[in-house]
Amino acid sequence: MDTSELLSDFTAFLREKKEEGKKIIAFISHDNIPEELIDAAGFFPLRLMFAGNDELMDSSHDYLPASTCAFAQSCIGLFSIKPDQYRFLDVIDYFIVSNHCVSDICASEIISKYFNIPRLNFYLSYTKNENSSKYFKLELINFKEQLEKIQGKKIETEALLESIKKYNKFKEILKEINEIPIRGEEKLYILQKAILYGPDITSEMEEYCQNSKQNIVEPTKNKKDILLTGCSIFINDHLINLIEEGGGNIIFFDTWIGFNYYSQLIEDKNLESSKDPLELITQRFKENKYSDHSVPNFLENRISLIQNYYNEHRSRTGKKLGVINHIIKFCDHMAIMSSHLKNRLQNEGIQVLNLERDYSRAIRGQLNTRIEAFLEMMEKLV
Ligand code: SF4
């Protein structure tokens, strides 16, 4: 899929937003940032969801050691080098500093400080209990006030409820798209595009969903079915091509760009009856079982999700499903649990490849070999 066209169209789209007088609020793409509040304030939430390369990683070493996660390094590199494809970064008005992980907070602070982008703060507690929910709500109130100050007017309750409904509907469509048996590369492209643009392209996504359902071409017959877990595959990453060229097809993205995003829905009955939209967002934070940020039993939840998906897939198709656990180098959130995840799933007969990598070109051959060997082994086991 042509990501250069995606990025060039997105540049034009963001310029239009600026011409409409919207401010662009950027942040490193992770869980729990309340994009509905940004939207309700009349701003555009821009997620940094772009993969890196050698140049981007190298250029971050003036700011952070090379032992920082490769994604965070690349985010800094984007601002340091500003490659032509990413010229739209010039239109960012504010940068959110949040603490999904250490790399996230360090990279966000550096981008704000050294590239002169005014910062907004949104912090999360590292526990999950009654007090952390109260803290989350206080942070929402604080974040809302920061946005209101920039906008010079209040964010009305009605406007926020409308934004929540809009995002909810958008996620419902992505959930539906996920069920359609399309090639993994195409599904990933659609998810990336959708999350990048947000609900502005709801009708395009609805149309895509309808058309794809009417023209189902089973793309996966001779391919090995793969569930991808761990770190997301960001825009401009060749990993998806390596998996497809090796004979695999990702049918389920158990990652932030994928299940973790579109599964965080708010029930219709709560949407209709609520008078307090911040409480709805807080409730969603409480119910977020699969995030790698401060969710007790996160790993157990993820393991049982994968087991259930595997069993359901096996009984429906008769095929095995391999699991690729994608670990971006120095992403401690994912790396620290990878052996346990692999052992637990392999004990249940589910084959797992822990694939740790950074964005350097030199390791492409090595990745290729490991993916091919894994897919070949799956063949023997079917
Ligand atoms: S360490 Fe992991 S969770 Fe943190 S920014 Fe990097 S990829 Fe994201």
pLDDT digits (tens, 9 = 90+) for 138-155: 999 999 999 999 999 999
Asked whether 106 lines ligand 1 (CB < 6 A), one says no
CA of 73 to the centre of ligand 1 (A): 10
DSSP per residue over 26-52, as a string? EEES-TT--HHHHHHTT-EEEEE-B--
| Nearest CA owner, ligand 1 atom 2 | 331
Which residues is 50 bridged to in the sheet? Answer: 235
Amino acid at site 154: K
Span 244-300, pLDDT tens digits: 999 999 999 999 999 999 999 998 888 888 889 999 999 999 988 888 776 778 889
CB atoms within 10 A of CB 210: 11
CA of 28 to the centre of ligand 1 (A): 9
* pLDDT at residue 1 tops 90: no
The pLDDT value recorded for residue 202 is 97
Query: Which of 102, 103, 292 to mutate to test ligand 1, by most ligand atoms within 8 A of the CB atom?
Result: 103
Give the span between the Cα atoms of 220 and 235, in whole angstroms. 23
Confidence of residue 126 (pLDDT cuts 50, 70, 90): confident
Q: What angle do CA 54, 57, 59 make, to 5 degrees?
A: 105
**3-163 and 180-381 agree in CATH topology:** yes
CB atoms within 10 A of CB 45: 19
What is the pTM for the complete model shown? 0.95
CA of 126 to the centre of ligand 1 (A): 15
Confidence of residue 219 (pLDDT cuts 50, 70, 90): low
Asked whether 164 lines ligand 1 (CB < 6 A), one says no
Asked whether 103 lines ligand 1 (CB < 6 A), one says yes
Asked whether 328 lines ligand 1 (CB < 6 A), one says yes
Query: Which of 60, 126, 294, 331 to mutate to test ligand 1, by most ligand atoms within 8 A of the CB atom?
Result: 331
Give the span between the Cα atoms of 299 and 297, in whole angstroms. 5
* Nearest to 255, CA basis, from 211, 302, 208, 185: 302
- Residue 8 burial (CB < 10 Å; 0-12/13-18/19+)? middle
Span 152-193, pLDDT tens digits: 999 999 999 999 999 999 999 999 999 999 999 999 999 999
Kind and range of the H or E run holding 226: strand 224-230
Asked whether 101 lines ligand 1 (CB < 6 A), one says yes
Residues 6+ apart with CB under 8 A from 21: none
Ligand 1: atom nearest CA of 102 is: 4
The values of phi and psi at residue 24, to 5°, are -105, 120
Give the span between the Cα atoms of 313 and 381, in whole angstroms. 16
CATH number of 180-381: 3.40.50.11900
Confidence of residue 379 (pLDDT cuts 50, 70, 90): low
Query: Which of 71, 78, 232, 292 to mutate to test ligand 1, by most ligand atoms within 8 A of the CB atom?
Result: 71
Ligand 1: atom nearest CA of 293 is: 3
* Nearest to 280, CA basis, from 293, 268, 294, 266: 266
Asked whether 104 lines ligand 1 (CB < 6 A), one says yes
The values of phi and psi at residue 224, to 5°, are -85, 130
Ordered by start, the domain boundaries in the chain are 3-163, 180-381
CATH number of 3-163: 3.40.50.11890
In the three-class reduction of DSSP (H, G, I as helix; E, B as strand; rest coil), residue 252 is classed as: strand
DSSP 361: G
Ligand 1: atom nearest CA of 69 is: 6
Confidence of residue 378 (pLDDT cuts 50, 70, 90): confident
The pLDDT value recorded for residue 330 is 95
| Nearest CA owner, ligand 1 atom 5 | 104
For 292-321, b where at least 16 C-beta lie within 10 A, e where not — what string? bbbbeebeeebbebbeebbeebeeeeeebb
Q: What is the CA radius of gyration of the chain?
A: 20
| Nearest CA owner, ligand 1 atom 1 | 331
The pLDDT value recorded for residue 217 is 73
